[in-house]
Amino acid sequence: MKGLLLFLLWIPLMSSTDEITLPTRGSLAFSFELKETLYPAELPHQKSAPKRIPLIRTPLFEAEFDSKARVVQLDLQINRIEGKGPIPRHITRTMLNHVKGGQRYHLNFSWDIEADRFDVYLNGTLQEHISNIQIPYWEDGLPPLKGELELFPSAEIQFGDWTLLPEVGEGETLPAALAEQAATVPPMSGESRTLYREGLSLEGLKKKLIFASDFSDSNNIEREEDLFSAGTRSRQPQKDWLVEATGTARIEENALILESQPEVELQRWEHGKPNWEPGKHQKHVVVWLTRRMPENLLVEYTMEPVDSRQGLHILFFAAHGPENGSIFQPGLKAREGDFRNYIFNPDEFQSYHISWWSSPQTADRRSSNLRKNNNFYLLTSGDDRINRKGERPYRIRLLKQGGHIQGEVDGVKVIDYHDEGKIFGPVFRDGYLGWRMMGESKKITIRDIQVWEVE
């Protein structure tokens, strides 16, 4: 099939529709520009209502922006094939912290029905790789993909040209014609999954080592329940390491080991009935370094997963309690490793966190996310350099200089963000460091933690 290139005029307040036949293996791309920046709804200083901005509808899929509380989503839905097939269903939600107004973006969708895959690229960077699109076949072969292609220009959004090619991207690489188009738009600055090529620059930094652990003392660890008396938090931790978990953590063989086993008896109730979810009932673990750390710091450690194909690991930092106090102060509720108590608990707990690794059993998330836990705000996304990369040690580094936060895995930067303290609330300064493992990770091993104060 020959490539097709059409140019759509920028016409406000009406839609642009063309009859089209999509190949069963191909790519469709277009450029767009928002008039105003699209932020998540319900930000601290911006009580805007959620907003949906439709982008495109084709015989195979449709997509729209959806600004929800805490995040902007690029929603992708597979459409029903007339006379056969499933009802419309979402197959992915690409997360963005915002979409800039007055700036051109390039969006590309690639699919291969026979290979059961669908990929999403933004500004030439692969955001989603979906391998379970499940398009039904007709009895005599592939489904017909003929119908209308519709873009939705309006007062809020304008479109440039769109391109249809019988080619698909291969991993991080777009077809040449689409890569050339994507190169004409400004590079992303953390809106969604952003790829970096270089490592952290420490040139000119003055470093002072303030903590190091080789985990030589297996008794230098205690559990959250040890701080409670008669159901009330009544004392401060006495050791360097504190476990908040339904899973387990221990120090042995010069390492901190976080481990989980499935709790098969647990179940979640929905609409009055038990809903069993394999893999959802494993025990999570959070381990805190109980020494408060300064505002400007460099953290290094090694993390080794037992299975890089399944799990999640994050680092909390600048964590603090009410009025910037201790997260262990008397009277605070138990957190018990339950993620909700760390991300939706602004009266008792606030922090930043980076999810270095997230590898679910379903479609890969692909991104390493920086969030701010006065309400789980997504600040920026980078590349997950651990997901499905093998069972081996990974060297992780965090550099925080005031509101400038950078993260690195094995010498390549994955996070780079300036929190200016405006859109997502004030900059968090000093606080505590905490290592978290979701239960589905089964087991991770942490070694050689070093913390420097920097200036």
String of DSSP letters for 343-389: HS-TTT-EEEEEEEEEE-SSS---EEEEEETTTTEEEEEEE-SSTTS
What does pTM read for this prediction? 0.87
Instruction: Tell the burial category of 104 from Cβ atoms under 10 Å away from its Cβ (0-12, 13-18, 19+).
Output: middle
Q: State the pLDDT at residue 80.
A: 64
Q: State the pLDDT at residue 348.
A: 96
Q: Is the pLDDT of residue 164 over 50?
A: yes
Q: Give tens-digit pLDDT for 264-289.
A: 444 444 444 444 444 445 689 999 99
- Domains within the chain, CATH numbers bracketed: 4-182 (2.60.120.200), 207-454 (2.60.120.200)
Q: Is there a contact between 443 and 223 (Cβ–Cβ < 8 Å)?
A: no
Q: Is the pLDDT of residue 16 over 80?
A: no
β-pairing, 241-245 vs 221-223, is parallel
Q: Which residues contact 141 (CB under 8 A, 6 or more apart)?
A: none
Rounded Cα distance, 70 and 85, in Å: 34
Q: Which of 78-87, 88-97, 101-110, 369-378 has the lowest mean pLDDT?
A: 78-87
Closest CA to 90 of 81, 77, 79: 77
Q: Which residues contact 176 (CB under 8 A, 6 or more apart)?
A: none
Backbone angles phi, psi at 313, to 5 degrees: -135, 130
Q: State the pLDDT at residue 365.
A: 75
Q: State the pLDDT at residue 363.
A: 56
Q: Is the pLDDT of residue 211 over 80?
A: yes
Residue 437 carries which side chain, given as an amino acid letter?
M
Instruction: Tell the burial category of 454 from Cβ atoms under 10 Å away from its Cβ (0-12, 13-18, 19+).
Output: middle
Q: Give tens-digit pLDDT for 315-351.
A: 999 999 999 999 999 999 999 999 999 999 999 999 9
Q: State the pLDDT at residue 266.
A: 42
* Percent of the chain predicted with pLDDT > 90: 66
The residue with tokens 């009410």 is: 322
Q: Is there a contact between 172 and 154 (Cβ–Cβ < 8 Å)?
A: no
Q: Is there a contact between 329 and 322 (Cβ–Cβ < 8 Å)?
A: yes
Q: State the pLDDT at residue 254.
A: 96
Q: State the pLDDT at residue 136.
A: 72
Rounded Cα distance, 217 and 423, in Å: 43
Q: State the pLDDT at residue 362.
A: 52
What tokens appear for 445 in the block?
Answer: 């091993």
Q: State the pLDDT at residue 282.
A: 61
Mean pLDDT of the chain: 87
pLDDT band at 188 (very low <50, low <70, confident <90, very high): confident
Q: Is the pLDDT of residue 238 over 70?
A: yes
Q: Give tens-digit pLDDT for 120-131.
A: 999 999 998 888
* 424-431: average pLDDT: 95
Higher pLDDT, 146 or 453: 453
Rounded Cα distance, 359 and 440, in Å: 9
pLDDT band at 47 (very low <50, low <70, confident <90, very high): low
β-pairing, 404-409 vs 412-418, is antiparallel
